[in-house]
Amino acid sequence: MTHVRNAAMALVVLLLVVAGAWASWNSAQHVLLAKGREHGTLTVTGCAEETCSGRYTPEDPSSTRRSLTIARSVAAEPGATIPVVVKPGTDEGVRTGWGGGLHAWLPLGGALLLAAPLIGEGLRLSRTAWSVAGAGGALLVAAFFAL
C-alpha cells in the first residue's frame, strides 16, 4: 500500500512541475530563443486588468511602428518603456532581459512551491522538499526584484 501511495504522490508532483514548466514555456521560449525575432521597445500608454498596450518602436529601422500588448505586471505602468521581443505572427510582446526571463518562469516557481509539501509529507523527502521550495521561492523573489 505504501508503494501505491508513493507512486500516486510522485505522479501528482510530476504533474504539477510539468504543468508549471509547460505554462512557463509559452512565454519563456520567446525570451530564451529570441535570436532572429523582432526586437524593440514598448512605451506603455494604458493598462487593462490583464494586459497593457502601447506604442512599439522596433530596433530595425525598416520595420513598421505599431501598437503592441504585453502581459500586465507591477512594472508595466503608463509611461514605462519596456524592452520587448514580438511573438511571431501576433501583436503581442514579451519582456526581454533578466526581468522578462524571470517573469516568464513564474508559473514554474509557483508549481515548485505547490509541489514542495507533497514531496515533504507525501513522499517523506524533507530535504528534497526544502530544496524544491527554496528554488521556487528564489525564482519568485528574483522575479519580484528584477521587475
pLDDT for 80-105, tens place per residue? 899 999 998 899 999 998 988 999 99
Identify whether residues 45 and 72 lie together within a single domain.
yes
In this structure, is residue 65 part of a structural domain? yes
Domain count along the chain? 2
Strands (E), the chain: 39-47, 51-58, 66-71, 81-86, 92-95
In this structure, is residue 100 part of a structural domain? no
Identify whether residues 47 and 81 lie together within a single domain.
yes
Identify whether residues 62 and 85 lie together within a single domain.
yes
In this structure, is residue 75 part of a structural domain? yes
Average pLDDT, the chain: 92
Give the angle 105-111-117 at the CA atoms, nearest 5°.
145
Q: Which domain holds residue 46?
A: 37-95
Instruction: State pLDDT tens for residues 113-135.
Output: 999 999 999 999 999 999 999 99
Identify whether residues 12 and 42 lie together within a single domain.
no
pLDDT of residue 60: 85
Phi, psi of 100 (to 5 degrees): -70, -40
pLDDT of residue 34: 86
In this structure, is residue 15 part of a structural domain? yes
